[in-house]
Amino acid sequence: MGWIMETYKGKKRQNYLEKHSISHLFSFLIEEFIEVREYKRDEWIIHEGMRPDYLYYVIEGKAKIYVTYQNGKVSLINFINAHDYIGEMELLHEVYYTKGIQASAKTVCFAIPLYRCRDKLLEDTTFLRELTRFLSVKATRMAEKYSQGLSFPLENRLADFILQTADGDVYKEKHVTVCDFLGVSYRHLLHVLVQFCEKGYLQKKGRHYHIRQPDDLHRLADVLKNGLDMGS
């Protein structure tokens, strides 16, 4: 299936480089090395287990990180959005088991060839500082999610997820994605959603859910927050 990633050339490439310049993230001239690539929905940006030759910086779109376990179970580890890096592990480590990354919408990224830029990147203070910040946030988020996932029932985590992903007061994530992400069975996710509806927190409208009582959801979600909190 779809492995027809498109590389923008000429004017289109130039346009992206200008409108979404990332030159301030580097202290050397990065532009000439960048390939501007577009991945279609469901296309794999990185195949699980295959070492990528590029460092990616996401310009627009979104993607998901997956890992497959030996028993065949597939787990959605995280979402990737604009301004995230992909493939930084391969830049930093000789040996690394690469996770799978799949675009969940049309996704445009800047691809920086490691074989030409690795040394430059690893000598670049501006870039390293930027990457360090990115990784520290990533590590913190993961740590939070980890302890939350273990410490609280789905009720709380789902309330948080709904509030975070709602479009206005409409929640419309796909159930299959959500139960992967929250690590629960489809059956149980539906069960809790029905409860939310019965309690009047949500109201089902066809395929979507309307948020009726955001305060109640906030009350459930706030339990996950630690002490003072900084938003993010």
Partner DNA sequence: ACAATAATATGAGATATCTCATATTTTGGG
Partner DNA sequence: CCCAAAATATGAGATATCTCATATTATTGT
Per the DSSP assignment, residues forming a β-bridge with 110 are 36, 57
Rounded-to-integer distance, Cα 107 and Cα 120, Å: 26
Map tokens 């799949």 to a residue: 102
Structure tokens at 210: 């309307």
Contact 76, 177 (CB under 8 A): yes
Q: Which of 77, 82, 114, 192: binder of a copy of itself (CB under 8 A)?
A: 77
We find the least distance from the C-beta atom of residue 64 to DNA, in angstroms, to be 11
Which range in 9-17, 30-38, 94-102, 166-174 contacts a copy of itself by CB under 8 A?
94-102
* Secondary structure of residue 225 in the 3-state scheme: coil
Long-range contacts: 93-99, Cβ < 8 Å, 24+? 96/51, 97/49, 98/46, 98/47, 98/48, 98/49, 98/50, 98/51, 98/52, 99/46, 99/48, 99/65, 99/66, 99/67
Residue 113: contacted member of DNA, a copy of itself, none (CB under 5 to 8 Å, by partner type):
none
Q: Does 228 bind a copy of itself (CB under 8 A)?
A: yes
Binding residue (CB under 7 A) for DNA from 105, 185, 203, 218: 185
Nearer to a copy of itself, 15 or 140 (CB): 140
Question: Would you tell me which residues interact with a copy of itself (CB under 8 A)?
Answer: 48-49, 65, 67-71, 73, 75, 77-78, 88-89, 92-93, 95-97, 99, 122-125, 128-129, 131-133, 135-140, 142-147, 149-151, 182-184, 222-230
Question: Would you tell me which residues interact with DNA (CB under 7 A)?
Answer: 2, 153-155, 174-176, 183-188, 190-192, 194, 204, 207
